Amino acid sequence: MKERHEHILGEVVRAYLDTGSPVGSKLLAEQGELGLSPASIRNVMNDLEKLGLLYSPHTSAGRVPTDTGLRYFVDTLMVVDPDMRQTMEHAISDHLHDASDRQALLQRATSELASLTHFAGLVSVREQGVRRIQRLELIPVSSEKVLAVIVTDSGEVQNRLLARPNRIQDAELHQVSVRLNELLRDCELAEARRRLRMEMESDRLRVRQLLQDLKRWADAPTQNQSELFVSGQRQLLEMPEFGVIDTVRSLMSAIEEKGRLLDLVAQVEQEKSGVKVFIGSEHALVHMEQVSVVLSRYEGAGNVVGTLGVIGPRRMHYDRVLPIVDCTAKWVSRMLGAN
């Protein structure tokens, strides 16, 4: 591909990203970036159309970049303004650096992604491999309830209210707590279940019911093993390309059917790191040909792995969005690593 072709493709993409409407040869010529007459530009555009990088909606409209055209732009033509990247990085670190816990961190990450890009921000968490119990604590809450707190090695905290065994004293409860901690520390979930069952059988602790409850908890399919945080859906409604209610509808479905979107995409990038872009039909999500997804993987201590990014219209300023997603992923990784 000749340099001129690349140049013109770049201009078409830029103009299209700015305006959203098909761009014609006249417009580009008047813009004066390339010092060519409309006719010459038309010739080149014709070539680009034959190459499958542009296409015209109809005879008398301008040209719109195809998915492949945008991909070419993202992969080879796009340059990221270092100043802009710097600014973004500041904004991101400002918002993330003092998050109090993992939950808060990820929540802020989504909302920061959303507010910087004006699209919907997504963050998914997945525990890779098996979780270990790092700590288990029983806290008397009332005469009938005990609060059980479990901390896993990935820094996740889970609470549950359990029934308090009859007439058990705070002190005794504390002993049970200490004993269970010895028993279950650094235990995988499966192992924990096994040990709890054994403990129940020996019933040394007069707290059969409590153990039963704990075991039931451990038995429950660990639903939040894969979570998804989303924010800024509303901003998608502001996008002119989503004037058609149908697109919004499928977009929202895709987001609400939580896992599917990210699971699907996360599979693809199992090994790779760095930012990945799925433009239009590349992600093969039905009815979402007008939608692009920009994702990056992040990692933290204790086998925490996740994917984070934004979902928005195909026509987005990739040169802005990519660095934002990239920086956010790096910061989240850093903060989870320091945990």
Partner DNA sequence: CAATGGCACTGTAGGGGGTAGAGTGCCAGA
Partner DNA sequence: TCTGGCACTCTACCCCCTACAGTGCCATTG
Name which of a second copy, DNA, none residue 323 binds, using a CB cut-off of 5 to 8 Å depending on partner kind: none
Name which of a second copy, DNA, none residue 73 binds, using a CB cut-off of 5 to 8 Å depending on partner kind: none
Q: Residue 34 or residue 149: which is nearer to a second copy going by CB?
A: 149
Q: Which residues bind a second copy (CB under 8 A)?
A: 100-101, 134-135, 137, 139-142, 145, 147, 149, 151, 155, 157, 159-161, 233-234, 237-238, 242-243, 245, 248-249, 252-253, 256, 339
Angle between helices 258-268 and 245-256 (to 10 degrees): 80
* Amino acid (1-letter code) at residue 76: T
Q: What does the alpha-carbon distance between residue 168 and residue 335 come to, in Å, rounded to a whole number?
A: 41
What does the block give as tokens for 316? 């987005």
Burial 132-147 (b: 16+ CB within 10 A, else e): bbbebebebeeeeebe
Please give the size of the binding site for DNA, defined by CB under 7 A: 25
List the one residue from 45, 96, 239, 277 that touches DNA (CB under 7 A): 45
List the one residue from 6, 43, 135, 193 that touches DNA (CB under 7 A): 43
Does 24 contact DNA by CB under 7 A?
A: yes
Q: Residue 27 or residue 139: which is nearer to a second copy going by CB?
A: 139
Smallest gap from residue 104 Cβ to DNA (A) = 47
Q: Residue 49 or residue 282: which is nearer to DNA going by CB?
A: 49
Q: What does the alpha-carbon distance between residue 183 and residue 142 come to, in Å, rounded to a whole number?
A: 25
Which among 101, 100, 96 is positioned nearest to 151, based on CA atoms?
Answer: 101
Put residue 151 in one of left, alpha, beta given phi > 0 → left and psi -120 to 50 → alpha. Answer: beta
Q: How many CB atoms lie within 10 A of CB 148?
A: 19
Binders of DNA among 3-22, rule CB under 7 A? 4, 22
* Amino acid (1-letter code) at residue 278: F
**Alpha carbon distance, N-terminus to C-terminus of the chain:** 48
Q: Residue 204 or residue 249: which is nearer to a second copy going by CB?
A: 249
Binders of DNA among 278-317, rule CB under 7 A? none
Angle between helices 318-337 and 82-96 (to 10 degrees): 40
List the one residue from 1, 18, 26, 141 that touches DNA (CB under 7 A): 26
Name which of DNA, a second copy, none residue 212 binds, using a CB cut-off of 5 to 8 Å depending on partner kind: none
Q: Residue 35 or residue 243: which is nearer to a second copy going by CB?
A: 243
Determine whether 315 is exposed, middle or buried from the number of CB atoms within 10 Å of its CB (0-12, 13-18, 19+).
buried
Does 42 contact DNA by CB under 7 A?
A: yes
Footprint on this chain of DNA (rule: CB under 7 A): 4, 22-27, 35-40, 42-43, 45-46, 49, 56, 58-63
